[in-house]
Amino acid sequence: MSNAVVLAGYGGPEVLVPGTVEVPDPGPGQVRVAVRYAGVGPTDLEIRAGHLAPVFPSPPGTALGFEVAGTVEAVGSGVTGTAVGDEVAAFLPGLGGYAGVVLADHWVARPSHVDPADAAALPASGEAAARVLRQLGVREGETLLVLGATGSVGTLATQLAVSRGARVVAAVRESDLALATRLGAVPVTYGDHLAEQVRGAGLRVDAVLDAATGADLRTAVELAGGAERVVTLSNHEAASLGVRLSGPDPAHADAALAEAMAALASGGLRLRQHTVLPLARAAEAHDRLEAGERTKFLLHV
């Protein structure tokens, strides 16, 4: 058993309570990781509220969290290249990160010069960014609109798309316009005039990544000329608009993690600034994110 923060049910941040989760020995192709940091992402908030129950059913006792960094403490059969004591960052498509120990099927070695906190902030965002760019089929010369381009996923997706030769239009708050420009994007602001700004700049949107919370998905579909090349990570209006709600893709997770960690280790990725709280204060992290605080929360175990 491992100490954890778990759901008491669906609801507000107060449903995150102390608890325990069972963590068995690793099976074939798995490692067991002693967690140092667990990342908190916007999708965690949507799952906790019950908005994504059809995709992520999370009964009472579930530990949220898609990403951790820590030390391998046990290795399952068939695992090569990873040993007890290795430092890794792990992606958990089945959740479980808000705990002292996790089982992982997808992980990447943490180079010694990469800060453990940075490593913990990478797996879910890096997997999501690489996944959605692949699902959208973004090609060199195309224009990608990113809603929430300076958030955890948006920051990485913007940089990866730019590195692949795409033009990125970054929808951000006015205070983030300069940051979006530094990421290599064409910045525009949220609001009623989003479509007008994009069209006024003479830009034709080929695809849209919605990595924001509560973004105007209807306008995004309008700008893309339909829902076919619009993907959202957490907007619960997706089904009504015919937009794809994209969840973790285990089949491509290892390649996405390797790509993201290599870029981070080489200095080619800028991560969002982070704030560290103890694991026991996970509810506070959710509350502060829902109140609009602009940071990446990490839970220290």
Q: Is the pLDDT of residue 152 over 90?
A: no
**Mean per-residue pLDDT, 115-140:** 94
pLDDT, tens digit (0-9, with 9 covering 90-100), for 27-81: 999 999 999 999 998 889 999 999 989 889 999 999 999 999 999 999 999 999 9
- Highest mean pLDDT, choosing among 143-147, 217-221, 251-255: 143-147
The helix or strand, by DSSP H or E, that contains position 74, with its residue range, turns out to be strand 67-75
Confidence (pLDDT) at 119: 97
- The predicted pLDDT at position 88 comes to 98
At 194, list the tokens: 């989003």
pLDDT, position 272: 85
pLDDT in tens, 2-12: 999 999 999 99
pLDDT value for 253: 93
Task: Report the percent of the chain where pLDDT is more than 70.
Answer: 100
The identity of residue 200, as a single letter, is: G
Q: What is the pTM of this model?
A: 0.84
Find the mean pLDDT for residues 116-126.
95
pLDDT, mean over the chain:
93
pLDDT over 90, % of the chain:
75
| Burial per residue of 249-273, b for 16 or more beta-carbon CB atoms within 10 angstroms, e otherwise | beeebeebbebbbebbbeeebebbe
Q: Choose from 17-26, 192-201, 241-250 the range with maximum mean pLDDT.
A: 17-26
What confidence category does residue 215 fall into, taking pLDDT thresholds of 50, 70 and 90?
confident
For residue 73, what pLDDT is reported? 98
Token look-up 């998905």 returns 217
- What digits encode the pLDDT tens for the residues 256-269? 999 899 989 998 78
**Once rounded to an integer, what is the mean pLDDT over residues 130-146?**
95
Across 181-185, 235-239, 296-300, least confident range: 235-239
How distant, in Å, are the alpha carbons of 105, 141, 143 from that of 253?
A: 10, 26, 25
* Residue 191 pLDDT greater than 80, yes or no: no
**Is the Cβ–Cβ distance between 225 and 107 less than 8 Å?**
no
State the pLDDT at residue 216: 84
For residue 237, what pLDDT is reported?
84
Six token digits for residue 97:
């990160």
CB distance 121 to 11 below 8 Å: no
Confidence of residue 160 (pLDDT cuts 50, 70, 90): very high
Identify which has the larger pLDDT, 202 or 159: 159
Q: Helices 42-49 & 282-290, crossing angle to 10 degrees?
A: 100
Q: For position 71, what pLDDT does the model report? A: 98
pLDDT of residue 127: 92
pLDDT at 185 over 90: yes
